[in-house]
Amino acid sequence: MDVVGIGNALVDVLSHADDATLDKLNLVKGTMHLVSQEQAENLYKGIGPATEMSGGSAANTIAGIASFGGRAAYIGKVANDQLGAVFSHDMKSQGITFNTQPHEGGIATGCCLVLVTPDGERTMNTFLGASNALAAHDIDANLIQSAQYIYLEGYLFDPPAAKEAFFAAAEMARNSRTRVALTLSDLFCVGRHRDDFERLIRTHVDVLFANEQELIAQYQAPDLQTAITAARGSADILAVTRSEKGAVIITKDETIEVAAQKVKKVVDTTGAGDLFASGFLYGLTQGMDLAECGRLGTVAAAEIISHLGARPQQQLARLAA
Amino acid sequence: MDVVGIGNALVDVLSHADDATLDKLNLVKGTMHLVSQEQAENLYKGIGPATEMSGGSAANTIAGIASFGGRAAYIGKVANDQLGAVFSHDMKSQGITFNTQPHEGGIATGCCLVLVTPDGERTMNTFLGASNALAAHDIDANLIQSAQYIYLEGYLFDPPAAKEAFFAAAEMARNSRTRVALTLSDLFCVGRHRDDFERLIRTHVDVLFANEQELIAQYQAPDLQTAITAARGSADILAVTRSEKGAVIITKDETIEVAAQKVKKVVDTTGAGDLFASGFLYGLTQGMDLAECGRLGTVAAAEIISHLGARPQQQLARLAA
């Protein structure tokens, strides 16, 4: 196995909205809010026609790795309902190993209401639902230990049992030659879990993904350069995504700038960071150099922002060539 | 009310596939097959990652009419399940009146597995599910009689009880000043119901929609001109869609050619006929002349084939201007 992803298994409910609607709903553009089932239902009533598509940050990354041709697996919790079946189908139909037992407690599969504004930016409202029920016993040690990398999403720190599962997986990885990759996920997510992230990065993380805002928040720095100086060496490899400015890859000794790919029209940025991680991790599993890993990341990100939704619609293996 | 649509309430499951996959699955490109729940499940296992989006032929047309700014209602049967809730939300969030009681018999909301080939053509496999349960008692006489038009999809002839509902609605319409529009829906659908369609057209239909193939099959003609000659006058207005050749509108005395709109890239033809009907019917309800009704039809069709799925992603009212 190349990469095993662990995350909140969610189905995205994608809808177009204008800035005035965001204001009215008290939403901060570009961020992710956790909402209760009731809040999600109320928001859903307030939004226009939607498209349903499998999502979940780490799940998007894993789908991207499979699309590059990588051998990938996923651990995450859906319910035994229609949207759970959709999520499961979409993973398995890409050849992804996905064997986590669905939750049977009557809570629905988690969903993320994504409001896409005309500028292509996305604002997310997540009802964790069944994904909340992921626990340490769902982590398959054999799977983790057979993998080159595990990939953990910061969002998974929100459900308490999942956080335990997360540390369990990181421990299992340490006991084999499996490397650990982490994404900080979201600015507000960093706000909620900064200290836990800090401990995990110091003790377990080999590859850290973050965007500029998240890195600055994690290191409580006044600007990106200061954050990078603080972060350098905390993980072997730090990959910072910078939207249209591309990405910068930082190791103990190196700083590698990666240009963004040209995109005709940014339709929906949902999944841009997730898919950058797909390309970067796929490159690492294939032993490519860091610049090439970064390039694959930007190729995947460019594909995903060119259409609605956070799962690739073209074979990334073909685009990468 | 401008238009009340009656049809099979379906959620589309849209997936990209190549021609070889269609051959392997014994599917005839561009047509609609009815499948059992078991067949649908097997097909679903065989297709790649998918996008879920509200569909159903008449429902797509009604969504288009609402997007033009028309006052629209829909009658169709979903189940009390997650995809039924999706369908219902997507109608109501556009301001469409949709009050049909969901089916409670344990059968799932109907779905249509749509395989989209690289040429943009779509091949459909419909599991009718709960839409099968639509019956005459679901037809709201007040709603029908308050409308300028009712719009019936030929597909509705497949479930026996729905066919009764269909005739009941046409009778109610005749008893008020409500005009009746019908679409022949699909080549194979015409094959199954030619004689019933013929009787309905002769006795109840004011506006008939068909594509070339369907009209030729309905009138068992050797070519389009012969079919048009046979069909002329059977309904007050006949609108024949011709893909990239546009459309031709036929009345007792007139033949009006309508050019297709230019489209940068045909992504997915799902819903092209449905949305042509949106524009055309909206124009009729606004008292526009037939050439302008046809133009609105081509504007809506052009929008829908430019992206995945059969529901408009832009306000058609804006595009029409």
Tell me which DSSP letter residue A117 carries: P
List of chain B residues whose C-beta atoms are within 8 Å of the C-beta of residue A50 = 86, 89-90, 93
Count: domains in chain A? 1
* CB within 8 Å: B86 and A50: yes
Q: Which residues pair with A237 in a beta bridge?
A: A207
B94 contacts chain A (CB < 8 A): yes
**pTM of the predicted model, to two decimals?**
0.93
Inform me whether the C-beta atom of residue A81 falls under 8 Å from chain B C-beta atoms.
yes
Q: How many residues does chain A have?
A: 321
**B309 contacts on A by Cβ (under 8 Å):** 51
- A37 vs B: CB within 8 A: no
Contact status of B48 with chain A (Cβ, < 8 Å):
yes
Kindly list the residues from chain B whose CB atom is less than 8 angstroms away from the CB atom of residue A48.
93-94
Nearest beta carbon to residue B52 from set A16, A52, A311: A52
Does some domain include residue A42? no
CB contact under 8 A, A82 and B44: no
What pLDDT is stored for residue B273 in this prediction? 96
pLDDT at B148: 97
A21 touching chain B per CB within 8 A: no
What strand order describes the sheet that includes B32-34? A32-34, A122-127, A110-116, A10-16, A51-54, B51-54, B10-16, B110-116, B122-127, B32-34
Rounded to an integer, what distance in angstroms lies between the CA atom of residue B102 and that of residue B80? 6
| Beta strands in B119-212, from DSSP E residues, in sequence order | 122-127, 149-153, 179-183, 207-211
* In a domain? residue A278: yes
From B107's Cα to the closest Cα of chain A, the distance in A is: 12
Is B107 contained in some domain?
Answer: no
Instruction: Extract the residue ranges of chain B whose pLDDT is less than 50.
Output: none
Work out the mean pLDDT of chain A and round it to a whole number: 95
Q: For A252-294, how does the pLDDT look when each residue is reduced to its tens digit (9 = 90+)?
A: 999 999 999 999 999 999 999 999 999 999 999 999 999 999 9
Q: Which of A44, A90, A93 sits opposite B89 (nearest CB)?
A: A44
Task: Mark yes or no for CB contact B90/A53 under 8 Å.
Answer: no
Q: What is the value of ipTM here, to two decimals? A: 0.91
The upper half-sphere exposure of residue B52, i.e. CA atoms within 13 Å in the direction of its Cβ, equals 28
Do residue A48 and residue B81 have CB atoms under 8 angstroms apart?
no
Residue with tokens 């669905």: A102
Is A51 within 8 Å of B51 when comparing Cβ atoms?
yes
CA distance A65 to A70: 5
CA nearest B63 in A: which residue? Answer: A49
Check CB contact of A49 with chain B, cutoff 8 Å.
yes
Report the alpha-carbon distance of residue B145 to residue A207 in Å, rounded. Answer: 66
The predicted structure's pLDDT at residue B232: 93
pLDDT of residue B311: 97
Instruction: Tell me the DSSP string of B94-108.
Output: TT-EE-PPPB-SSPP
> CATH number, domain at B302?
3.40.1190.20
**Beta-carbon separation of A50 and B16 below 8 A:** no
Q: Is residue A294 part of a domain?
A: yes
User: Residue A71: which domain range?
Assistant: 3-7+56-102+134-320
Cβ separation of A50 and B90 shorter than 8 Å? yes
Subunit contact A86:B52, Cβ cutoff 8 A: yes
Burial of A161 (0-12, 13-18, 19+ CB in 10 A): middle
Residue A93 to residue B49, Cβ atoms within 8 A = yes
B204, burial (CB in 10 Å: exposed 0-12, middle 13-18, buried 19+):
buried
- In a domain, residue A45? The reply is no
Of A48, A51, A63, the CB nearest to B94: A48
Q: Which residues are registered as beta bridge partners of B183?
A: B153, B209
pLDDT digits (tens, 9 = 90+) for A121-179: 999 999 999 999 999 999 999 999 999 999 999 998 888 888 889 889 999 998 898 99
Query: Is B81 within 8 Å of A82 when comparing Cβ atoms?
Result: yes
Q: How many angstroms separate the CA of residue B205 from the nearest CA in chain A?
A: 31
Q: What pLDDT score does A158 carry?
A: 87
Query: A146 burial class (0-12, 13-18, 19+ CB within 10 angstroms)?
Result: middle
Partner-chain residue, chosen from A44, A93, A313, that has the shortest CB–CB distance to B47 = A93
- pLDDT at A229 (0 to 100): 95
Question: Does residue A23 lie in a domain region?
Answer: no
Residue A202 within any structural domain of the chain = yes
B302 occurs within a structural domain = yes
Cα torsion for A159, A165, A166, A171, to the nearest 10°?
A: 160
Q: Which residues on B lie below 8 Å from A51 (Cβ)? A: 51-53, 309
Q: Tell me if chain B has a CB within 8 Å of the CB of A93.
A: yes
